[in-house]
Copies of this chain bind each other. A is one copy, B any other.
Amino acid sequence: MAPYKIRFLPDGQTVEVEGGSTVTEAAQKADVHINNLCGGKGVCGRCRVQVNNGKVRADKHSISLLSKEEILEGYVLACQTKVDSDMEIMIPAESILEEGQILMDCSVEYSTPEKINLHRVPADPMCLYEPLTQKVFLEMKEPSPEDNVSDMDRIIRELRKKTPYRDFEISLLCLQGLAMKLRTNAWKATATLAKHGDIGSILQIEAGDTAERNYGLAVDVGTTTVVAQLVHLKSGNVLGVAGSHNPQAHFGEDVISRMIFACGREEGLHPLHQAVIKNINQLIKSLTEEKGVDPREITALVAAGNTTMSHLLLSLIPCSIRVDPYVPTANVYPQIRAKELGIDIHPGGIVEVIPGVASYVGGDIVAGIIACGMADRPETRVLIDVGTNGEIAIGNNEWMVCCSASAGPAFEGGGIKHGMRATRGAIEKVVVSNGRVEYKSIGKGKLKGICGSGLIDSLYELARNHIIDGEGKFHRSSHDGRVVERDGELQFVLAPAGETEIGREIVITQSDISHLIRSKGAVFAAIKSLMDYVGLNFNAIDTFFVAGGFGSYLDIPKAIKIGLLPDIDPSRIRFVGNSSLMGARMCLLSAHTMERAAQIARNTTNIELSNYHPFMDEYVAAMFLPHTDRKLFPSVDY
């Protein structure tokens, strides 16, 4: 099969592929980022592209999720369509994963260092400031016949004076070249130390005084995005933040599709592992270039991710995570050196991955527990992480219980006709009153879709205006012109075609609403089940922390009123954004906190909701707006 030339518009990237390759594969080769929510199974419909020129091998799978109008315009699903000639393909705005926008988006949360400190959310009061690595400047006396201990002993003697450690270990790499380094630099050197139990582990010895130049990296390895903060370890200051889509999305958008990719073929794990390592290295490159830091001056990295992400990061086989009885290779990970993973910081730099509790309650949640100070205070607190997998943790300094529930990707825009992540062009706020719709979108420019917070608002506004009923069904007759029928399904028109970049109306369909109700129901049922399991009611909780990929904005009262969050005083519910990243940074800045993370992971009880019968009843009861048991939501005004 001869190679064909494929040109992707609007940016014009060109690539050659063999006939029979899918358009998605061609795009991957061209480094063009097409949405791939379902991992190429042809069921999400998020990879629609328009064939301008060229022949494709299309079949019913290529067009099954498209409207007749789209089919006539030459749209196909990229993942189901095979190349059969030279082609020119237009990728519509809503099908592009725009790399550039993520960082801006994260910037809302993280770009202003002075706003970010350990006290942004109640910090761990036990958090001793003791970065994972520290640099100690040493001025030594030159050897003499009366004092001719070895170079290593001379260094250790100085370190004993300047650090609390009594015993030290040293890597071979540090000793190699040491004799010259000390003798050509007047016996002035800087040692980089890490805590290893009670032992000071010497990672590096540099000539002269470099004590100021010691950096760390906190990384949140999310399923969707990877965000890294560059931290000056001596001061704790965040120097910069960079983020990107997780490029593993090429292989499947959610953890399940990635596990299927990793486990369904020979060497399936390798490309997923490589993708995230390469991604982290790109973030390191961009951060260090911007801030004038040599990547080798980064001597510690802490990563937090869910159990699957942590496994892929470490190249651990994730396959048994997916199948009953859901057993990961490990929940607590060894401390490793950067060179073992090929991470481009100091090769002997330490890499810690925050430990998790179980297959579906990972290190991101433990990091969140740390960030929210939950495990070191007597008050009982709850952390709710809303994502495709919703995780809930509840506890205090004496006990901690957690669970997870498959909520579906609706609040991240997945499975929703015009759903999208909280990036530029996403509708993030919606108000409907007297038949008029007002919305606010992220950034300037035309609309592309609706993100999680916009979907929550929409659901509430539709219910409050009685456009949908308690089961989420449209009242066909109401609000003429806004509720329309297309392709046999009722939909609410949020924005007319003229206001959108995609050239079509942005709508919320009946099945979108069903998805949203299922998602919010699963999350609430998980919260409720866990509260019941520990025998507490909502009033016993000091604070509810909500994390998740909503972007910078979440209207908590509306989230309560659709029945996603419990109906308590909204001031007791706090949206904490990326608590996983913050927990990673707290571990980076405190070896003690990193040790606590392992204790928290080990001492947290995980409830498998699939084996916990009351959960199913709670789930069914929560599949209503706001809830079948309206007494649980006294404040609801519709």
Contacts and interface: CB of A to CB of B under 8 A. Distances in A.
Nearest to A340: B172
A331 B175 contact: no
Interface stretch (A17-25, A101-109, A146-154): A146-154
8 contacts: A143-B320, A148-B327, A152-B330, A173-B340, A176-B316, A179-B316, A179-B317, A179-B329
Given A148-B325, A325-B143, A178 B316 contact: yes
B330 A150 contact: yes
Nearest to A327: B143
Contacts of A149: 327
Interface in A293-344: 314-320, 324-334, 336, 340-341
A594 to B, nearest CB: 15
A144 B326 CA distance: 9
A476 to B, nearest CB: 45
| Contact count band on A | 35 or more
A334 B151 contact: no
Contact of A327 (B150, B326, B358, B611): B150
Given A178-B317, A179-B317, A334 B170 contact: yes
A315 B171 CA distance: 13
A180 interface: yes
A395 to B, nearest CB: 20
Nearest to A353: B172
A326 B148 contact: yes
A329 B170 contact: no
A336 B170 CA distance: 10
Contacts of A318: 179
A608 interface: yes
A145 interface: yes
A183 interface: yes
Contacts of A329: 150-152, 175, 178-179
A169 interface: yes
Given A180-B317, A316-B175, A316-B178, A151 B608 contact: no
A169 B324 CA distance: 27
A358 to B, nearest CB: 8
B170 A317 contact: no
A17 to B, nearest CB: 32
Interface string A340-370: 1100000000000000001100000000000
A10 interface: no
A169 B334 contact: yes
Return the 4 tightest CB-CB contacts between A and B, nearest first: A179-B317, A152-B330, A148-B325, A145-B325
A177 interface: yes
A452 B611 CA distance: 80
Contacts of A608: 145, 148
A53 to B, nearest CB: 46
Given A178-B317, A179-B329, 13 more contacts: A145-B611, A150-B328, A150-B331, A171-B334, A172-B341, A175-B330, A176-B315, A178-B329, A179-B316, A179-B317, A179-B319, A183-B320, A197-B197
Contact of A151 (B144, B152, B183, B327): B327
Contacts of A319: 179-180
A494 B393 CA distance: 91
A186 to B, nearest CB: 15
Nearest to A606: B148
A148 B334 CA distance: 20
Contacts of A179: 316-320, 329
A177 B334 contact: no
Contacts of A327: 143, 148-151
A172 B325 contact: no
Nearest to A149: B327
Interface in A406-457: none
A481 to B, nearest CB: 52
Given A172-B334, A175-B329, A331-B153, A145 B324 contact: yes
Nearest to A320: B179
- Which of A179, A316, A358 counts the most B-chain CB atoms under 10 A from its CB? A179
Nearest to A321: B179
A332 B147 CA distance: 17
Contacts of A331: 150, 152-153
A332 B172 contact: no
Contacts of A183: 320
A99 to B, nearest CB: 29
Contact of A172 (B180, B314, B324): B314
Chain B CB within 10 Å, residue with most, of A173, A319, A329, A331:
A329
Contacts of A143: 320, 325, 327
A118 B395 CA distance: 57
Nearest to A356: B150
A332 B170 CA distance: 10
Nearest to A181: B317
A145 B331 CA distance: 16
A250 to B, nearest CB: 22
Nearest to A173: B340
Nearest to A355: B150
Contacts of A169: 334
A183 B341 CA distance: 25
Contact of A144 (B147, B172, B325): B325
Interface string A141-170: 001110111111100000000000000011
Contacts of A359: 148
A430 B319 CA distance: 74
A341 B176 CA distance: 12
Nearest to A318: B179
